[in-house]
Amino acid sequence: MAKKLIKRFMPDHESIKNNKHLQIFGDLLHNPHLWHLNRHSIAKAFAVGLFFAFVPVPFQMVLAAGMAIIVHSNLPLSIALVWLTNPLTMPVIFYFCYVVGTWVLGVPEQAFNFQLSWEWVANSIETIGPAFLLGCGVLGIIFAILGYFGIQLLWRYSVIKQWNKRKEKRLKK
């Protein structure tokens, strides 16, 4: 079942409650709705986590935690899904965001050489920034919607499959 698979990979409550970056939320982290594993909280967690995975800021986990608290999604999963964009996947994903942004804006792609410096970031915001940020927003929304409805369908399929197994088992007796 999908619930068992998700539960196996989720971080425990205490590690999240004791995270120094999430202490700004205080007692809000003790809301039991943030820790439930049901179809709706998991689907909302996928939407929140996948959306904020495409937000190009260093504090994505805090943003995802804040939104999870607002919409009552599963907090650990919302935070964990942000790590879809990690140091290994970030260059590929963010380049794809840039390509999507240029396609949406209808502008040609510009050649650029990435440099790990604030000066390069400041100069690039004017040239490739609009296409990149628009691409991040578009893909964030698309993947959030796909994640939400994909989990809803997967969960429903899993429940129906379990029902059918129990039904077959009862008929064999």
Note the pLDDT tens digit of each residue in 119-132: 777 777 888 888 99
SS3 state at 70 = helix
Structure tokens at 57: 């800021």
Q: How confident is the model at residue 81 (pLDDT cuts 50, 70, 90)?
A: very high
Long-range own/partner contacts, residues 64-68 (CB < 8 A, 24 or more apart): 65/22, 65/25, 66/25, 68/34, 68/44
Exposure string for 38-54, b = 16+ CB within 10 A, e = fewer: ebbbbbbbbbbbbbbbb
Distance CA(2)–CA(117), nearest Å, equals 42
Note the pLDDT tens digit of each residue in 12-29: 666 666 666 666 777 677
Determine if the pTM surpasses 0.85.
no
Asked whether the beta carbons of 97 and 136 are under 8 A apart, the reply is yes
Q: Which domain holds residue 141?
A: 2-172
Number of domains observed in the structure of the chain: 1
Mean pLDDT for the stretch of residues 47-60 = 93
